[in-house]
Amino acid sequence: MKVVIVGAGALGGYFGARLHEAGAEVTFLVREKRAVQLKEHGLRISSQKGDYTIKNPNVTTDPNNIPEADLVLAGVKGYHLDGILEPLRVLSNKGAYVLPVLNGIEHIELLQKHLGNKAVLGGLSFIIATLDNSGHVIHSSDFHDLIFGPLYTEQTEICEKLQALFTKANFHAINSENILEELWKKYSFINAFSGITTATNLAIGEIREQPKTFQIAKELLKEMKQLANAYGAELKDEHIEEAEKKLITLQAEATSSMHQDRRKGLHLELEHLHGGAIRLAEKTGINLPYTKAIYGIIKPFEKA
């Protein structure tokens, strides 16, 4: 299968390298600076699940240089989505399906609007990964899950083909029959986890030690359930309890990618995540006071 990775950052780099390791033909569509870095140093992933290096990754900065593509894995941050719409359109015109692995929900409709409903699959990931100064991927969690699935029944066949490929790769892939619900479950979890860790500038362990602070994360989960329900995703109390359990059982030093970005002084995905929830809530007349408060607290740190 011919795979294109758009956004060879932490997630794109990780899953691209794992798919290359599994024998897929992988091309990294990147911007100029990243192209130079990948050509000079190759792409290495450092992971407790096994290291892997692509010495000379197939890299391009122009989608027109890619003759064929079956799958495009989109791994940019929410604030970079606009910049990849045109390259994605070029590749989807060649027949490629687009599998976004971003956190959040608003991007699904945006991609469908630009590429057509049938070209966009549902996808998300549970992993803790980041890039080091040389652009290598550091994977630090004992999980590396890629959950994907059809948003339309016509996409069932391609998802089965993807599952056949992903099963050969060194990550945990799940072809979900209800990817929309999975997307909302992840969105709820991430808004609570990234919200509380980024706002307090603390890893989850220290937050858990303060019941009043941890309570805010629980309130964020409840608000996200209300929002998900308003958008037709049947999140139930048990899903919120599962998410709470995850927050309780994560390693004490675990933190969100948004908090890692705050620590590094990078641009934060606040508008895409909490901003997105507030916009969606306004459209349905729901009030999200905790989400709004967290958004306001993080806002001064948003811009790099």
Ligand X SMILES: NC(=O)C1=CN([C@@H]2O[C@H](COP(=O)(O)OP(=O)(O)OC[C@H]3O[C@@H](n4cnc5c(N)ncnc54)[C@H](OP(=O)(O)O)[C@@H]3O)[C@@H](O)[C@H]2O)C=CC1
Residues engaged in binding ligand X (CB under 6 A) = 6-12, 29-31, 33-34, 75-78, 80, 83-84, 101-103, 125, 127-131, 257, 269
Q: Residue 136 and residue 12: Cα distance in Å, rounded?
A: 11
# of chain residues touching ligand KPL (CB under 6 A): 10
Which residue in the set 37, 47, 200, 257 belongs to the binding site for ligand KPL (CB under 6 A)? 257
Beta strand spans in 55-161 (E): 58-60, 71-74, 97-100, 122-131, 137-149
Q: How far is the CB of 107 from ligand X (least distance, A)?
A: 8
Which residue in the set 37, 175, 194, 198 belongs to the binding site for ligand KPL (CB under 6 A)? 194
Q: How far is the CB of 13 from ligand X (least distance, A)?
A: 7
Q: Binds 280, which of ligand KPL, ligand X, none (CB < 5 to 8 A, cut-off by type)? A: none
Q: Binds 116, which of ligand X, ligand KPL, none (CB < 5 to 8 A, cut-off by type)? A: none
Q: Residue 270 and residue 103: Cα distance in Å, rounded?
A: 11
Closest to ligand KPL by CB, 37 vs 256, is: 256
Q: Binds 78, which of ligand KPL, ligand X, none (CB < 5 to 8 A, cut-off by type)? A: ligand X
Is residue 256 close enough to count as binding ligand KPL by CB under 6 A?
Answer: yes
Query: From residue 56 to residue 95, what is the string marking binding to ligand KPL with x (rule CB under 6 A)?
Result: ----------------------------------------
Strand partners, 74: 6, 100
Q: Binds 193, which of ligand X, ligand KPL, none (CB < 5 to 8 A, cut-off by type)? A: ligand KPL
Q: How far is the CB of 85 from ligand X (least distance, A)?
A: 9
Contact yes or no for 274/290 (Cβ under 8 A): no
Strands 122-131 and 137-149, by their bridges, are antiparallel
DSSP letter at 6 equals E
- H runs (alpha helix) in 128-236: 156-168, 179-200, 204-208, 211-230
Cα–Cα nearest to 107, from 86, 129, 76? 76
Cα distances (Å, whole numbers) of residue 294 to 132, 235, 271, 288: 28, 22, 12, 10
Q: Which residue has the tokens 């791994």?
A: 75
Question: Which residues, 6 or more positions from 283, have their beta carbon under 8 angstroms from its beta carbon?
Answer: none
Q: How far is the CB of 5 from ligand X (least distance, A)?
A: 9
Closest to ligand KPL by CB, 47 vs 194, is: 194
Q: Which residue is nearest to ligand X (CB)?
A: 9
Q: Residue 79 and residue 1: Cα distance in Å, rounded?
A: 29
Instruction: Return the residues of window 90-149 that contact ligand KPL according to CB under 6 A.
Output: 103, 125-128
- H runs (alpha helix) in 68-171: 81-93, 106-115, 156-168
Is residue 231 close enough to count as binding ligand KPL by CB under 6 A?
Answer: no
Binding site for ligand KPL (CB under 6 A): 103, 125-128, 190, 193-194, 256-257
